[in-house]
Amino acid sequence: MDHEEFAARTQAIRARLYRTAYLYLGCEADALEAVDEAVYQALRGLKKLRQPAFFETWLMRILLNQCHRELRRRRRLAGEESLLESAGPDAYDGLPLREAIRRLPEELRQVVILRFFTGCTQAETADALGIPQGTVATRQRRALALLRLELGEEETP
């Protein structure tokens, strides 16, 4: 893959990358920075991409790693409590679903964000997280059950 193809394919999924980073980090500036850093790291490591068909999954994985680094940095600097408070004054942040998703355990939150907010398939989610598809399905079911309990909805059989 050459630099022109890299730029074109990156531009095609840039909105999806931003949406994913924003859902992880909760701050527009941090999300933009994470996307930029992920694209930069992908460009530097372009020779490591073995199969160009998996470009989107590869780049999404780089972005997720960058988001995790940013979250770890935040925890080191401000502690766990201030992480939720520093998300910014966005009206979307106050929605019950948004808060319920933030309270999910990390491995469940990852699956929910990738599956329902960025539009990844189960296979793409499994590839991005480096886990089997069955694990994605199990985590998705557990996350949805916890969200139903959190939001007070009755579980239907």
Domain end (from 45, 68, 92): 92
21 & 4 share domain: yes
pLDDT of the residue at 34 = 92
pLDDT of the residue at 79 = 47
88 & 147 share domain: no
Q: Which residues of the chain have pLDDT under 70?
A: 77-95, 153-157
Range of the domain at 119: 95-157
Three-state SS annotation for the chain:
CCHHHHHHHHHHHHHHHHHHHHHHHCCHHHHHHHHHHHHHHHHHCHHHCCCHHHHHHHHHHHHHHHHHHHHHHHHHHHCHHHHHHCCCCCHHHHCHHHHHHHCCCHHHHHHHHHHHHCCCCHHHHHHHHCCCHHHHHHHHHHHHHHHHHHHCCCCCC
pLDDT of the residue at 81 = 46
19 & 59 share domain: yes
pLDDT of the residue at 86 = 44
Q: How many domains does the chain have?
A: 2
pLDDT of the residue at 153 = 60
Domain end (from 92, 107, 122): 92
Query: Which CATH number fits the domain that encloses residue 107?
Result: 1.10.10.10
